[in-house]
Amino acid sequence: MKLTILLTTLIFSLSVYSNIIHNHMIDAAYFGETATLVEIIKTNQVDINYQDSEGRTAIWYAGYWEYVDTMKVILAQKDVDVNIPDHYGIYIIDWVSYEGKWESYDLLKAAGAVEH
């Protein structure tokens, strides 16, 4: 019984820690804090495609705000997926095209983003 409680507590703690790290990653992308993002990626096991409560990823926010340096760090990650829609069905490539954010658009297209 005590072992079960201990394991449950440990698993819950790791899950909370994982959510905190991933939310910091999203925040760093949202605010263009490239150095912070590099440290998060370098020092932690993160899912670069982690989606926040709106379904948006780090590349979604960095692209939206056209933080080119931040985008380059994200796009350099081997598992990054630039074709993940948010929970509203919006793809970042379509949004930056609509907004006329051409630096973001060019980087996303070069990374394999597909317009919808």
Q: Is the pLDDT of residue 43 over 90?
A: no
Decide if 40 contacts 10 (C-beta within 8 A): no
Q: Where are the domains of the chain?
A: 2-110
pLDDT at 10: 40
Classified by CATH at the fold level, domain 2-110 comes out as: 1.25.40
Q: Is the pLDDT of residue 24 over 70?
A: yes
Rounded to an integer, the average pLDDT of 32-58 is: 93
Question: CB count, 10 Å around CB of 27?
Answer: 16
Within 8 A by CB and 6+ apart from 93, the residues are 63, 82, 83, 105, 108, 109, 113, 114, 115, 116
pLDDT at 45: 81
DSSP character string of 41-66: HHHS---TT---TTS--HHHHHHHTT
Mean of all residue pLDDT scores within the chain: 88
Q: Is the pLDDT of residue 1 over 90?
A: no
| Structure letter (DSSP) for residue 86 | -
Residue with the two structure tokens 């380059």: 72
Q: What is the pLDDT of residues 52-96, one digit of tens each?
A: 999 999 999 999 999 999 999 999 999 999 999 999 999 999 999
The fraction of the chain above a pLDDT of 90, given in percent, is 78
